[in-house]
Structure 1
Amino acid sequence: MPDPLVIVCGVDRDAVLATGEAVATADPRTVLVAHDLRRLGEGVVTRAVRRDGRWSVTALELAHGCISCTLREDLLPLLLALAADPDVGRVVLLLDPGMEPEPVCEALAHVVPDGGEGPVTDVLGLVGVVAVLDGPTWLDDAGSDEALADRGLALTEDDDRTVAQIVVGHAEFADVLVVVGAPDPWERVRRDAVLARLAPQARRLDVVSAAAGVPDVTPVLAELHPDARRGVPDDPHGPLLRGQPPLARDVGVSLLHVGLRRPFHPERLHEAFDVLLTGTVRVRGRVWVASRPEHALWIESAGGGLQIGMAGRWLADSLAWDDVDELRRASASLRWDDRWGDREQQLVVLVHDAEPAEIVAALDLALLTDSEIAAGEDVWRTYADPFGISHTDPCDELEGPVVPVENRGEQT
């Protein structure tokens, strides 16, 4: 059986470190691994490893200055070496505050490092992902449009992500939430309502403060929900309501599921983003845009930050039918429309300070009208498309299934 691996993420370095050290204190054979990426743009990464209660720190030079190269050239080989060491019983990976756990887990499961015979998860079983959240500020951060650079968390000069994208991504992908501190009672109720809809299967530990002590999370990881994520990314064509979250409105917080059966006009959808990015914590799902009738787009927002990506072809394009697994073919068959095939709009919107009816109305206005539908796909392809072109990355073997084409880091 592979040795256990735990990933801890969060924007507070001290609280993340305290969480990892609590695990190491409970099990002396635990090794902590952390990379400080604050100088990544300069091509310098600091790696720290804690064994037997002592830290060793190494400065690394990376020619490309990117996260993917950090993973491939240093982290993955290091984890393989630790897995082969009989004196190591558990590895806890502490992510830099600017890192998101999903692409890291994707690399651990699918990238074969130099000198390895398989991916890291063949020899280190990922037990789960722990997200450390700042209780008093998390909800404000989750709905904001503040840039990572303004918080000093950007990894490079051109890192245009928002704080919301990081803190929401941490919480949504986690199996355990360590919530440090608490806001006033009303804001705590609202925050808890948001977390119940964002990460319905995650276990939670409430901690007074990191300085007061963080408990060992390994007993909680041993009792996760049977369907817990455990580092497995969502399929962009899979169910959007993972974990059966509550749909009823509570203290102004609601989860809105929108399903529509006609394409969006690209420019009117772009205009609707003003509504989608106001008073919402999360918007995610697959959309059908008239100017790209063969391609499914993936929309994912957090607060005022929005990413749009390519999610492959619709199965209505017969060329794609044999390129997907049986589960997707079965799901598409159940929803198949005689005219449109599997093409549809499927969005989930987590609302905390907006009126759901206004969001539905904005999306309805972005759909093609009857006369535009009648004009046909040849005309649709001529519509101006504001979404840009596909992004290419020199290290794209570490990318997930969705290739980003746009990131709007500000609220418009």
Structure 2
Amino acid sequence: MKSTLKLALRNLLRYQRRTLLTALLIMLGVVALLLFVAAAGSFKQTMVGSITDSMLGHLQVHRKGYTASMDNLPLTMSLQPRAVGLIDEALKTDPAVLAYSKRVKLGAMFSNFTENSSIRLNGVEADAEDAAVPALRQRISDGNKTGPLVEPGKVLVPALLARGMKVKVGDSVVLVATNASGSVNGKTFVVGGILEGITGPGGRDGYIDIKDARELLRMDKEEVMEVAVRLKNIDNLPAAQKRLTAALDTIRNKEDKPATELHTWAELSPFANIVKMIDMMTFFIRIMLVAIVLVSVMNVMLMAVYERIREIGTLAAMGTQPRKLMAIFLSEGLLLGLAGALAGVALSYAVVAALNVWPVVFNFGREQITLHPALSPFEVMGVLGLAVLVSGLASLQPAWRAALMDPIQALRHV
């Protein structure tokens, strides 16, 4: 085996220009794939983190059927105190859960005493919301960013509404809401902060204290519409979802049917479709890499067989076994693929390091995205293995052709 590899390496070095050009093609294919995977992965991680860490959480618990009419913020489909208590128990005992926040969601009329507009509100407990969506306070563009997230009597107003209604931090405003029975109630609040908007559902919601929300809706019980859950590691999402679904299925309504439903962030956010598109693009770029390596190596190996027909005939006439001839050409293809792939991996790491020193910044909707690409060892080894495997496969046909060559006919070749 060692002698076969030495002979294959010597043959590749005999045709340095052709070997170099082919290795460069393989290298470019590997670099294109790894850089795309690194950049796309960074974009996905940034956007998913932005959505889950500042709005949705990783999971959400609702009353059965609530999400079907979520856009209307139905007040008649809240989770009752008994169900909330059982949800508390399930979340506290699950090892994957880091924090969770109970929310009262409602629609209200927002007035600055001269103009009126509508607003979507989340009534939350400040500490719990801070733990469940820690990036929410980073969206506060004006106001106290170090104190409690939201205080009783104060409201965090979306920036778009604040600009339209010409309100600023410290201004008094009135929120008017209609409760589940149709009764109207109003309450005066002070603007405690301005929230920058973000892409996705809930990206333009306002926030008030949960007790203020219940007072505004005249709730006499501690009902909630939503429980946002944050996990210790988002990679554990599938397993945690399975466990929590089983635990929450034990919460039954009067008809002995499940009273709650559990959804992941991907089921609640349209960005999940963009994630699927990125994954599909990655798949097609992998196919391009396979095509580049396959065509390049096969072309080189076919030319090597054609140019070395008399050499192959001489080796066969000297008693070299067909399998030995096949092993030589197969080894050449594998070495070619390995050399190109290793060079591609090295160049990819260099480019990724440069992109982290001089990061790429661009606008995505109303947000500014900064990419911090990274290459996982698993992805690198996968691409490296793919390049070598395809190189070997591309060498099979030329190697087989060389192995089956008639020595007499080969020696006569001019």
Structure with greater strand percent: 1
Where relative contact order (Cα < 8 A, 6+ residues apart) is larger, the structure is 2
TM-score normalised according to structure 1 size? 0.20
Please tell me whether Structure 1 or Structure 2 has the larger radius of gyration of its CA atoms. Answer: 2
TM-score normalised according to structure 2 size? 0.20
Structure with greater helix percent: 2
